[in-house]
């Protein structure tokens, strides 16, 4: 299609005078793909509309929350009904326990939970809680796993397997970064070595069960169970970050998929139905360390906001009641989409591999199997940028970075898949 972006350019220029980079989250600037960001004004089902009237099949879905598509009627109705009684109280409401009960029923590892407003808050709070519970200071994270932008988590590893971390962002003090051990993902030996080197000093291991921020990278067989065994043996807390995977890869999340029972879980995205909601929860004896019951402090004026609770509950109830239909269909359509585009790339002579788990997937512009950050880093990001631009021109909205997962929604149809594959064939031929 022939796209015009005149109005989007005007809006972006205005925003740049008021907001750093004109965006409130860096990836929205489209710098990783070297193109201009369309400014979105509406979403409906599997499609989004920009300020210039262009329409795109959406495989971002607000970065995962919109598993039922844009403007899903039961969610909108729940928000409107809740808003009639007020938008915020800064006090407890019945809806908080309603949504908490739905989450706990879906995830047996969670005995108690607390709501916050973002995934960053959830992971930051879970780590503070783990440190307070264990009275230890070191944490283990994995290269390529993103757990929000709190200081302890914006860290990259040194050259050694279990070296102390160095800051991955300006503004993160060296002293704080050195409390984070950043290890290669899918490498059990590296974890064993870290726990041997820092025996009795590691408060927690935090992991994305399926990585989404170096692209979609599933765990190797037995990897997550090994993390659980190592952490338990040393008295550390295992935190499984399901902000992205929770209710996405299965109704019970990656825990259900891989038979896990972590000590703490962080959630976000889908549990808010598209509104800003996240949570952290787990074993009652750990959660009872949070104020007002215990000494670990965490608070938030908008935590448990009634509009967000209503949206999340409507979303989870629909998924729960229709999970036998929704998840197999998402898996089937996603498999069809991913494999057909992979085939098209090979036919066009373009080096490409792909990873997928359920309705979460990534096409990697490399000939290597992507299992960790080092293999993901072999991707041809410039070629991905050209592919991304070609797909946008054809009316397909993909994540504007090679190292971000894409998502399918229950609103997508087989016709959408066919249209997307046709667009990909044309874009790949142009590479």
Q: Which residues, in sequence order, are bridge partners of residue 105?
A: none
The label of the residue with tokens 């070629």 reads 383
Q: Catalytic: which of 56, 138, 146, 223?
A: 146
Annotated catalytic residue, options 141, 269, 280, 372: 269
Write the CATH number for 207: 3.40.640.10
Instruction: Please say if the pLDDT value at position 384 is more than 60.
Output: yes
Average pLDDT estimate for 116-128: 96
| 191 shares its domain with 227 | yes
- Is 80 part of any domain? no
Q: Both 99 and 50 in a single domain? A: no
- In a domain? residue 312: no
pLDDT tens string 343-371: 999 999 999 999 999 999 999 999 999 99
Considering 274, 304, 334, which residue would you say is the last residue of a domain? 304
pLDDT (0 to 100) of residue 168: 57
> Do residues 267 and 339 make contact, with C-beta atoms less than 8 angstroms apart?
no
Mark whether 288 and 331 lie in a shared domain. no
Distances in whole angstroms, Cα of residue 81 to Cα of each of 76, 94, 303, 314: 9, 14, 19, 12
**Any idea which residue has 């979609």 for tokens?**
216
Model pTM? 0.95
Region 200-227 average pLDDT: 96
Residue 332 located in a structural domain: yes
Residues 283 and 341 occupy one common structural domain: no
Q: Is the pLDDT of residue 392 over 70?
A: yes
CA 27 to mean position of chain CA atoms: 14
Asked if residue 78 is part of any domain, the answer here is: no
Segment 29-62, tens digit of pLDDT: 999 899 999 999 999 999 999 999 999 999 999 9
- Helix (H, G, I), strand (E, B), or coil: what is residue 290? strand
Q: Which residues contact 317 (CB under 8 A, 6 or more apart)?
A: 102
State the total domains in the chain: 2
Is pLDDT above 50 for 395? yes
> What span, in angstroms and rounded, lies between the C-alpha atoms of 367 and 118?
36
368 is catalytic: no
Distance of CA 391 to CAs 75, 109, 111, 400, 405, Å?
Answer: 30, 41, 44, 11, 16
Q: Compute the average pLDDT of residues 284-311.
A: 97
User: Is pLDDT of 202 > 50?
Assistant: yes
Angle at 148 between CA 334 and CA 221, to 5 degrees: 50
For residues 213 and 300, state if they share a domain.
yes
Mean of pLDDT values over 214-240 = 97
145/231 same-domain check: yes
Tell me if residue 181 falls in helix, strand or coil: strand
Range of the domain at 158: 89-304
Same domain, 133 and 159: yes
Q: Quick check: 157 pLDDT over 60?
A: no
Note if 251 is an active site residue: no
Identify whether 313 is part of a domain: no
Return mean pLDDT, the chain.
Answer: 94
Determine the Cα–Cα distance for residues 65 and 278; give it in Å rounded to an integer.
11
Mean pLDDT on 201-219: 96
Do residue 250 and residue 373 come from a single domain?
no
Residue 119 shares a structural domain with residue 253: yes
Write out pLDDT tens, residues 55-107. 999 999 999 999 999 999 999 999 999 999 999 999 999 999 999 999 999 99
Q: How much of the chain exceeds pLDDT 70, in percent? A: 95
Burial 288-325 (b: 16+ CB within 10 A, else e): eebeeeeebebeeeebbbbbbbbbbbbbbebbeeeeee
Residues 295, 289: Cα–Cα separation, whole Å: 6
* Stronger pLDDT, 174 or 397, i.e. the higher one: 397
Average pLDDT value for residue range 161-166: 36
What phi-psi label fits residue 395: left (phi over 0), alpha (psi between -120 and 50 degrees) or beta?
Answer: left
| Distance in angstroms (rounded) separating the CA atoms of residues 300 and 279 | 12
pLDDT band at 148 (very low <50, low <70, confident <90, very high): confident
285 and 328 in a single domain? The answer is: no
Does residue 170 carry a pLDDT above 90? no
pLDDT at position 154: 65
Where does the pLDDT of residue 169 fall: very low under 50, low under 70, confident under 90, or very high at 90 and above?
Answer: low
314 in a structural domain? no
269 flagged as catalytic:
yes
Residue 164 confidence (pLDDT)? 38
With b for 16 or more beta-carbon neighbours within 10 A and e for fewer, the 233-263 pattern comes to: ebebbbbbbbbbbbbbbbbbbbbbbbebebb
Q: Do 52 and 133 belong to one domain?
A: no
Reading the block at residue 122, the tokens are: 């959830």
Give the model's pLDDT for residue 312: 98
| Distance linking the first and last C-alpha atoms of the chain | 18
Least trusted range by pLDDT, from 115-119, 157-161, 283-287? 157-161
Kindly state whether residue 1 falls inside one of the protein's structural domains. Answer: no
For residues 404 and 317, give the distance between their C-alpha atoms in angstroms, rounded to a whole number.
28
Give residue-wise pLDDT tens across range 398-431. Answer: 999 999 999 999 999 999 999 999 999 999 999 9
Residue 206 and residue 248 share a domain: yes
Distance CA 372, CA 185 (A): 5
Q: How far apart are CA 36 and CA 54, in angstroms?
A: 14
- Which CATH number goes with the domain that contains 328? 3.90.1150.10
* Residue-level pLDDT at 160: 31
Which one of 50, 59, 223, 241 is the catalytic residue? 241
Stretch 236-258: mean pLDDT: 98
Which residue in 75, 110, 429 sits closest to 279, CA to CA? 110
Does any domain span residue 167? yes
* Over residues 392-398, mean pLDDT: 97
Residue 354 contacts residue 363 (beta carbons within 8 Å): yes
């Amino acid at each position: 299609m022939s796209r015009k972006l005149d109005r989007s350019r005007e809006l972006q220029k205005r925003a740049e005078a008021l907001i750093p980079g004109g965006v409130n989250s860096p990836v929205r600037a489209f710098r990783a793909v070297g193109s201009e960001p369309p400014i979105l004004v509406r979403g409906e089902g599997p499609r989004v509309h920009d300020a210039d009237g262009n329409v795109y099949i959406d495989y971002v879905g607000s970065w995962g929350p919109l598993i039922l598509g844009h403007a899903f009627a039961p969610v909108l109705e729940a928000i409107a009904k809740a808003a009639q009684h007020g938008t915020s109280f800064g006090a407890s409401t019945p809806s908080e326990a309603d949504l908490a009960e739905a989450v706990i029923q879906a995830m047996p590892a969670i005995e108690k939970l607390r709501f916050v407003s973002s995934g960053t808050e959830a992971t930051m709070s879970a780590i503070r809680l783990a440190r307070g519970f264990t009275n230890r200071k070191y944490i283990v994270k994995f290269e390529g796993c993103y757990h929000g932008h709190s200081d302890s988590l914006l860290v990259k590893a040194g050259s050694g397997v279990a070296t102390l971390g160095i800051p991955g962002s300006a503004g993160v003090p060296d002293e704080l970064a050195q409390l984070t051990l950043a290890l290669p993902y899918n490498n059990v030996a590296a974890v064993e070595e870290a726990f041997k080197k820092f025996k009795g000093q590691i408060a927690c291991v935090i992991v994305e069960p399926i990585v989404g921020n170096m692209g979609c990278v599933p765990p190797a067989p037995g990897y997550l169970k090994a993390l659980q065994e190592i952490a338990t043996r040393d008295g550390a807390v295992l935190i499984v970050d399901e902000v992205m995977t929770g209710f996405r890869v299965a109704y019970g999340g990656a825990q259900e998929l891989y038979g896990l029972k972590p000590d703490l879980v962080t959630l976000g995205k889908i549990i808010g139905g598209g509104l800003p909601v996240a949570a952290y929860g787990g074993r009652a004896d750990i959660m009872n360390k949070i104020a007002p019951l215990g000494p670990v402090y965490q608070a938030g004026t908008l935590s448990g906001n009634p509009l967000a609770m209503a949206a999340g509950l409507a979303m989870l109830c629909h998924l729960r009641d229709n999970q036998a239909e929704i998840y197999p269909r998402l898996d089937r359509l996603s498999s069809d989409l991913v494999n057909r585009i992979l085939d098209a790339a090979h036919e066009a002579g373009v080096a490409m591999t792909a990873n997928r788990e359920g309705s979460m997937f990534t096409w990697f512009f490399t000939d290597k199997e992507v299992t960790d950050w080092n293999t993901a880093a072999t991707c041809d990001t410039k070629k991905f940028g050209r592919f991304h631009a070609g797909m946008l021109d054809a009316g397909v909205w993909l994540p504007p970075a090679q190292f971000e997962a894409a998502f399918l929604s229950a609103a997508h149809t087989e016709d959408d898949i066919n249209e997307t594959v046709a667009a990909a064939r044309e874009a790949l031929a142009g590479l």
